[in-house]
A and B are shown apart, each in its own frame.
Chain A
Amino acid sequence: MSRNKLYILLAIACLVGYSWLFFNYRSGAETDPDGPGVCLIKEVTHIPCPSCGSTRSAISLLHGNMTDALYWNPIGFLLGIILVVVPLWLLFDVVLKKDTFFRFYKKSETTLEQKKVAVPLIILVLANWIWNIFKAL
């Protein structure tokens, strides 16, 4: 993937992410976990997927409820950090015509493909998934 393609894709993803958060913030999804969902796994099998609850987590973060955010889904923290950092980093790169983020992306891809990094992360995601199923999100 080229630099520009990645940047456009990420910019669109961040835009969609922020609109999704805004939409859910307005409709109070935090208090209504049984509202209409977009997660196909949950809609079809009634079993939550590893990232179910991260919207509720991010909205709890916006309200400043750290413990609630952690309870709903720890992935929400990660998404929150990405949503803050990535647009700023992209803006920095685009304005200064650099490719620091692109190189970081490529480097982290090769890091993630190493077994000693990938296996613990897969175990973490699986553990989070099992926790999600127990919480019945």
Chain B
Amino acid sequence: MEAQKVDMFIMMNSKFFEGHHLSQIRERLLAMDESKWGILQTLQFKDPTTILIVSILAGSLGVDRFLIGDTGLGVGKLLTCGGLGIWYIVDWFLIMDATREKNLAKLQMVLY
């Protein structure tokens, strides 16, 4: 794919991925076929900051985990009062990276 398009994609979506993955994503996109550009444009990523706000407000109900697609962990959090309140607080620090991991997994579905 054209370097200009790839750089535009990276610029617009860099906040959805972890920094150390960006160079790898760029290389993959450059090697990708032009025909997938349309699908790439329609991908919706979860914003880590939004999920962090949800995690602070409704984390002990597991809503943050449900939103990023970790249904199993969400149920676990809901049934245990946010893991006795400990997991609830731990997740404030983990949820942003977890969201970025999920975004990468979503992108990989298109890339491969």
Do A and B bind? Answer: yes
Known: A13-B83, A125-B78. A113 touches B60 (CB 8 A): no
Known: A49-B60, A49-B61. A38 touches B81 (CB 8 A): yes
The answer to whether B76 touches A50 (Cβ under 8 A) is no
Interface residues as binary, B68-112 with A (CB distance below 8 Å gives 1, 0 otherwise): 011110011011111111101000000000000000000000000
The answer to whether B75 touches A39 (Cβ under 8 A) is no
- CA–CA, A58 to B79, complex, Å? 13
The answer to whether A49 touches B81 (Cβ under 8 A) is yes
Chain A interface helix/strand/loop/mixed? helix
Set B60, B72, B75, B76: member contacting A40, Cβ < 8 A: B60
The answer to whether A54 touches B79 (Cβ under 8 A) is yes
The answer to whether A50 touches B61 (Cβ under 8 A) is yes
Chain B interface helix/strand/loop/mixed? helix
Interface size on B, residues (CB 8 A): 18
Interface segment, one of A61-69, A90-98, A104-112: A104-112
Q: Which bucket holds chain A's interface residue count?
A: 20 to 34
- CA–CA, A39 to B85, complex, Å? 6
Known: A20-B84, A38-B85. A112 touches B75 (CB 8 A): yes
Known: A40-B60, A105-B72. A75 touches B79 (CB 8 A): yes
The answer to whether A38 touches B79 (Cβ under 8 A) is no
Residues of A within 8 A of B80 (CB): 13, 17, 51, 54, 79
The answer to whether A40 touches B79 (Cβ under 8 A) is no
- CA–CA, A78 to B76, complex, Å? 11
Set A16, A75, A113: member contacting B84, Cβ < 8 A: A16
> What's the nearest-Cβ distance from chain A to residue B27, in Å?
24
Set B71, B72, B78, B84: member contacting A50, Cβ < 8 A: B78
Task: Give the contacts of A59-83 with B (CB-CB under 8 A).
Answer: 75, 78-79, 82
- CA–CA, A78 to B78, complex, Å? 12
- CA–CA, A136 to B30, complex, Å? 59
The answer to whether A40 touches B61 (Cβ under 8 A) is no
Residues of A within 8 A of B75 (CB): 112
Interface residues of B (CB under 8 A from A): 60-61, 69-72, 75-76, 78-86, 88
